[in-house]
Structure 1
Amino acid sequence: MAEENFMETGRLEAFYDAIIAIIVTVLVLELPQPATASLASIWALKTSYFAYVISFLVCANLWQYHHLIYNHVDRINTKIIWQNILLMFVFSLIPYLTIFVANHPNEFIPQALYGLDFIIVDIILYYMAKSLLEINQKNEEYLKSALNVRDALYIPFAIFIVGFIIALLGYPIAIIICCLITIIRSLYVSLKG
């Protein structure tokens, strides 16, 4: 591949930051208002708040992961740009799916679609990691550590699959709980390392 096909990461990072900011804004704007100014009315919306917190943490986690990676990436190519665009397309469904889950917390289809969105994001991140490693040999050792496929992709994928199995057995909210587990695990790993 010719050298002129490589690009710097600044514009991609700015685009990514803007998309995450928009997703977080839409998430909070979609939160329903309590019917009255009482604790009972606020408590009645607990499912919406729970789904919001998980989705917000997912956004923060993905942004932090992306920042961690691209802080050590010297160059990208068109393939990586399109992988990121696909990632943002799939990830931009989070506000819609958050409301869907909040309105139907005990139903399998909304929970499954929410979890499936996370699985697709993990798959895209896997291929993006491979592409980044191919063209950034200068920082290969750091990137291999930051893009640790086992910690960043395989373990969350396995947790999501467990959530799907439990959901199929009659406990649909297991999927969103597994999403929360992967976020907490990811935060723990990033704060520890």
Structure 2
Amino acid sequence: MAEKNYMETGRLEAFYDAIIAIIVTVLVLELPQPATASLASLWAIKTSYFAYLISFLVCVNLWQYHHMIYQHVEKIDVKVIWLNIILMFVFSLIPYLTIFSANHLNSLLTQSLYGLDFIINIVLFLMAIYLTKINPESEYLKDVMNLKNAVYIPLLIFIAGLVAAFLGYPVTISICCLITIVRSVIVSLKY
């Protein structure tokens, strides 16, 4: 059997950083300009700012999580690269879904699609599981793998948002995404 071909993480991290920088730039460029220079005009596009805030927090939270994990990873392989490619694919949809959601705040379809950023958490978790297998000496990765904090609680929050959305309040999906992100940031502060 051939020996597994491991790589260092530097190039992947640099590529990832570049993708996130581009996504954040596109996000801010997609913000609509107010019709006039007045508070009323700013208020008229508040849903765009709300969607931007959530998307920006998703971006920086993902960058922070990725950075924290890869500080404790010595080697990666092709599977890790492909998990990152899947992650970046889903992640690259955020600017589009942000505008779609802001323009149709009370649409169940758009809010459900916007809530798909939860898939990012699942891919990150799968990647962390795999990274723990190929970097078994990392105690940090083992700590991060706490199922309750990584998957169960965010999933319950997201399901609550979906239920409320189907009961007639689609915007609750965005609110639950925001709660999940803020919660994730708070949890990450202990690491």
TM-score past 0.5 threshold: yes
Aligned 8 A contact 2:58 2:181 in 1: yes
Q: What aligned pairs does 1:40-51 form with structure 2 within 5 A after superposition?
A: 40-51=40-51
Change in 2 beyond 3 A, CA 1:3/1:13: farther
Distance 1:12 1:2 in 2: 24
Distance 1:158 1:3 in 2: 41
Aligned 8 A contact 1:122 1:157 in 2: no
Structure 2 match to 1:36: 36
1:54-90 Cα deviation digits (max 9, x unpaired): 1001100000000010000000000010000000001
Structure 2 match to 1:124: 123
2:50 counterpart letter in structure 1: F
Q: Which runs of 5+ in 1 are unaligned?
A: none
Distance 1:24 1:142 in 2: 28
Distance 2:135 2:72 in 1: 9
Distance 2:147 2:81 in 1: 20
Aligned 8 A contact 2:94 2:117 in 1: no
1:3 Cα deviation (Å)?
Answer: 4.8
Aligned 8 A contact 1:51 1:98 in 2: yes
2:49 counterpart letter in structure 1: Y
Q: Which runs of 5+ in 2 are unaligned?
A: none
1:4 Cα deviation (Å)?
Answer: 5.3
Secondary structure (helix, strand or coil) at the match of 1:35 reads coil
Structure 1 match to 2:142: 144
**RMSD (Å), alpha carbons:** 1.3
Structure 1 match to 2:132: 133
| Residue 157 (structure 2) pairs with residue 159 (structure 1) | yes
Number of equivalences: 191
1:100 counterpart letter in structure 2: F
1:119 counterpart letter in structure 2: F
TM-score by length of 2: 0.96
Q: Percent identity of the aligned residues?
A: 70
